[in-house]
Chain A
């Protein structure tokens, strides 16, 4: 006997949960860059490559979330 039934896409819910972590992570990366540049503007050119590397590595996890939503 079915008491309650829920229909819909679990992969969408899974992706939503998977996007929390990278969202916070990317926010941390850019907030660190903004604060560092605010303290010492000359360092902005030195730290910019690390901003992009950090962003892409963290974003990879969010994208794994959306890609695996289609695979599984």
Chain B
């Protein structure tokens, strides 16, 4: 870390950052793109969540210990705040998946600001895309299983409207329910993590670029740039929490819409 700072201060920082900064090399020769820092981080996140919930629930007591209380709060937040509030009573059976999804997205988002790691797997479109596809398949499967294919399509595609606008409205509803939903789920998470990391790169590398400027009066401005980077890191933490919450709430909302009885 110290040597990295010395190299950057010595003038080797490339400013402005670009998309190329997000392409990290393979960890072992010849395994690109299957083993990079991002895939390793995904495995680390999965392992961390499994170990956390296993260890905190080893001996559950009626009066919870501190660790058990923490795990219960996280699960209770996902179950009561998201599953029960959005889906209703039937939501309890989705609560485990929603809680896991929330924890996974929260952890991978936070990896963007944890020192040492400082990249989030969600800043590559692949990982949010897979999560969005899973949510997409989930709400369609749940809707078809409850209503049957024809009735599910009728509920989703035909809004209550006069017959002469129905052709246009059906097209719009199809586009918005079956195409825009998964795309925006993935794109929202990806763009937030990508843009957030990009902003942090701009201010951090910009600080080094200012430090290497020719004029002596410009050099102290690099401190302002680094102060902005620190402030934006806190904003990034808020955004990480918010994006995890929104992804899960929107998934629950789509499931609720698929399960709804009549329009």
Query: Main SS of the interface on chain A?
Result: helix
CB atoms of B249 and A53 under 8 A apart: yes
Number of interface residues of A (CB under 8 A): 13
Measured CA separation A49–B81 after assembly (Å): 9
Per-residue CB proximity of B80-94 to A under 8 Å, as 1/0? 010001100000000
Measured CA separation A64–B245 after assembly (Å): 19
Task: With CB as the reference atom, state the residue of chain B lying closest to A60.
Answer: B188
Number of interface residues of B (CB under 8 A): 21
Residue contacts A-B, CB under 8 angstroms, 17 given: A49-B81, A49-B86, A52-B246, A53-B246, A53-B250, A53-B253, A55-B242, A55-B246, A56-B250, A57-B184, A57-B188, A59-B188, A63-B187, A63-B192, A63-B195, A64-B187, A67-B195
Question: Which residues does B use to contact A, with CB under 8 Å?
Answer: 18-19, 81, 85-86, 184, 187-188, 190-192, 194-195, 198, 242-243, 245-246, 249-250, 253
Q: A56-B243, A63-B188 are in contact. List 10 more A-B contacts (CB 8 A).
A: A52-B242, A53-B249, A53-B253, A56-B242, A59-B188, A60-B184, A64-B187, A64-B191, A66-B191, A66-B195
